[in-house]
Amino acid sequence: MLDAGIRRGTILTVAVLMVCVLGIVAALRIPVQMIPDLEVRTISVVTGWPGATPQDVEKEILIEQERYLRTLPNLKRMVSRASTGSAQIELEFPFGVDVNEALIRVSNALSQVSSYQENVDQPRLFSSSFSNNAFMYFRLMPLAGNPLNLDMDMLRDYAEDFVRPQMERVPGVSEVGVSGGAERQIQVLVDPARLAQRGISLTQVRDTIRARNRDSSAGDIDSGKRRYLLRVVGRFEQLSELENLILTQQGDNVAGWAW
């Protein structure tokens, strides 16, 4: 066989060159991804319920949502987690499933939940896949010498109000998180003597603020082939709304805030 190859050296050389050329062409045409797309598509459902215990979150939120989510087509796995003040459900779909279509199906399934308890936030949906593990971190900091006298509150507000909305509008971005800095809060200072004079307890103050500062569902309206969901928006948008909040009313006597 070796002798035959030597006698036909030209043919052997041409054959080897053809194999090399075809191999190079095939290698150049093979698609390459720095971060290859893996098999799992994930949709996360996050529902907030401030102050609720994990047991209540599981009973009032997770069980109700799971009833409708487990019937989703192509659902590969569902993992639920209940924590203080929050419910998380992670839905996994196999490769090839259209994530946008799956998001619509998940949203439609959640809309079938008849009602939630008071103070339960509307569910938020986040989609991702393991091919989306390209990420970016950056930080905001004042210029050298801080010529604008920026503090941590200002930087956090700027990131929340301007940077985050712009980043969320970028095509392909599924979630933008802000961490660090100082999150702005409102402190309600009370005068125990004046509360006792009016017969108001701290619990009443807390419950009144909580009951007023929330959005709630008001059912739905069927109009022909369309169905409209009603939602009453009541969350505080301005500090003046909290300033004018009525704590209790007995006859013509009204007790509110004194600033």
Q: Is the pLDDT of residue 7 over 80?
A: no
Residues 128 and 61 reside in one and the same domain = yes
What is the token pair recorded at 209? Answer: 């603020």
Model pLDDT, residue 69 = 92
What is the token pair recorded at 238? Answer: 């301005």
pLDDT tens figures, 53-86: 888 889 889 999 999 998 899 888 899 988 888 8
Q: Is the pLDDT of residue 259 over 50?
A: no
Rounded to whole angstroms, how far apart are CA atoms 218 and 234?
12
* Domain end marker among 132, 150, 169: 132
Host domain of residue 22: 1-30
Model pLDDT, residue 251 = 62
For residue 114, what is the domain's CATH number? 3.30.70.1430
Residues 166 and 207 reside in one and the same domain = no
Q: How confident is the model at residue 179 (pLDDT cuts 50, 70, 90)?
A: confident
Continuous segment of H or E residues that includes residue 63: helix 63-69
CB 41 within 8 A of CB 72: no
When divided into structural domains, the chain yields a total of 4
Model pLDDT, residue 66 = 92
Residues 210 and 250 reside in one and the same domain = yes
Residue 35 forms part of a structural domain: no
Residue 143 forms part of a structural domain: yes
Which residues neighbour 68 within 8 Å (Cβ) at sequence distance 6 or greater?
A: 109, 110, 112, 113
Residues 122 and 48 reside in one and the same domain = yes
Residues 102 and 179 reside in one and the same domain = no
Q: Which residue has the higher pLDDT, 136 or 48?
A: 48
Q: Answer yes or no: pTM beyond 0.75.
A: no
What is the token pair recorded at 217? Answer: 């569902």
Residues 115 and 61 reside in one and the same domain = yes
Give the end-to-end CA distance of the chain in Å, rounded to a whole number. 103
> How many CA atoms, within 13 angstroms, populate the side-chain half-sphere of residue 173?
13
Residue 51 forms part of a structural domain: yes
pLDDT tens figures, 84-111: 888 999 998 887 788 888 888 999 999 8
pLDDT tens figures, 190-229: 888 888 888 888 888 888 888 787 776 667 788 877 877 7
Q: Is the pLDDT of residue 33 over 60?
A: no
Q: Please name which of 62, 66, 139 lies closest in space to residue 109, comparing C-alpha atoms.
A: 66
Residues 252 and 235 reside in one and the same domain = yes
Beta strands in the chain (DSSP E): 41-48, 77-83, 86-93, 124-129, 216-223, 226-232, 246-250, 253-256
Q: Is the pLDDT of residue 171 over 60?
A: yes
Model pLDDT, residue 258 = 42
Q: Is the pLDDT of residue 235 over 70?
A: yes
Residue 36 forms part of a structural domain: no
Residues 199 and 227 reside in one and the same domain = yes
Residue indicated by tokens 């066989």: 1
Residues 164-188 have a mean pLDDT of 79
What are the CA-CA distances from residue 187 to residues 184, 219, 238, 239, 242 (Å)? 10, 34, 14, 11, 11
CB 41 within 8 A of CB 84: no
Residue 76 forms part of a structural domain: yes
CB 225 within 8 A of CB 183: no
Residues 102 and 144 reside in one and the same domain = no
Residues 161 and 209 reside in one and the same domain = no
Q: Residue 244 in 3-state DSSP? A: coil
Q: How confident is the model at residue 47 (pLDDT cuts 50, 70, 90)?
A: very high
Residues 165-180 have a mean pLDDT of 81
* Domain end marker among 156, 183, 210: 183
Residues 57 and 125 reside in one and the same domain = yes
Rounded to whole angstroms, how far apart are CA atoms 245 and 234?
12
CB 185 within 8 A of CB 157: no
Residues 202 and 156 reside in one and the same domain = no
Rounded to whole angstroms, how far apart are CA atoms 63 and 77?
16
**Burial of residue 195, with CB atoms counted within 10 A of its CB: 0-12 exposed, 13-18 middle, 19 or more buried:** middle
Rounded to whole angstroms, how far apart are CA atoms 8 and 105?
66
Q: Is the pLDDT of residue 9 over 70?
A: no
Residues 242-250 have a mean pLDDT of 78
